[in-house]
Amino acid sequence: MWPLLALVLIWHKRASSRAPFPSQRRTMNPDQRPVFGVGDASFQAAGGEAGLQRLVADFYRVMDEAPEAANVRAMYPADVSEAADRLASFLCGWLGGPKRYAEKYGAISIPQFHTRWPVGEAERDAWLFCMEQAIARQPYSPDFSEYLLRQLRVPAERIRQVQAACPARPGQN
């Protein structure tokens, strides 16, 4: 009995010495880097709300300038300032930060919302191209840059899939 109790005590001491707070054991890698996607780690890595506003401003700047993005730029209004606020607000909650989009604009289903535009592979890739370029302009770590783009590919591809199943009917939403 006593040897068993001693073993349990040693194990407990070693486990608690690895990280002082229980929450850190769940949200940090052993080398104390945050695990993106847990809590608000991604939101923080993106620089919070100000960081996301910079990312989105660069995203639309790239879209304005890059010939590769002309197909998607044509879908947006000339003035993208409201679209920029909506996208930055959405990304805020999507990355684990405050749910600004829901607070300001209500609920949204990203694939459903986009069914009013024809989004195939070319449009999906052009949109992701703008994001990739915008991400590259931020002071993000290579790990977070790679993570963020990988995550964005998921809803972008979902938009395309929903389109493929139910082609866009402009004006129907």
**Are the CB atoms for 95 and 42 separated by under 8 Å?**
yes
Q: Distance (Å, rounded) from C-alpha 91 to C-alpha 78?
A: 22
Which of 76, 98, 102, 137 is the binder for ligand HEM (CB under 6 A)? 76
- CA–CA separation, 50 and 62 (whole Å): 18
Q: Is 149 in the site for ligand HEM (CB under 6 A)?
A: no
Would you say how long the chain is, in residues? 173
Name the minimum Å distance from CB 18 to ligand HEM.
Answer: 35
Task: Tell me whether residue 72 or residue 135 sits nearer to ligand HEM (CB atom).
Answer: 72
Q: Does 83 bind ligand HEM (CB under 6 A)?
A: yes
Q: Which is nearer to ligand HEM, 12 or 104 (CB)?
A: 104
In the complex with ligand HEM, the residue whose CB is nearer, 28 or 75, is 75
The token pair at 52 is: 């996301």
Distance, CA of 137 to chain centre: 16
Dig out the tokens for 138 from the structure: 């931020």
In the complex, the residues that contact ligand HEM under the rule CB under 6 A are 72, 75-77, 82-83, 86-87, 90, 105, 108, 110, 113-114, 117, 119, 123-124, 127, 152, 155-156, 159
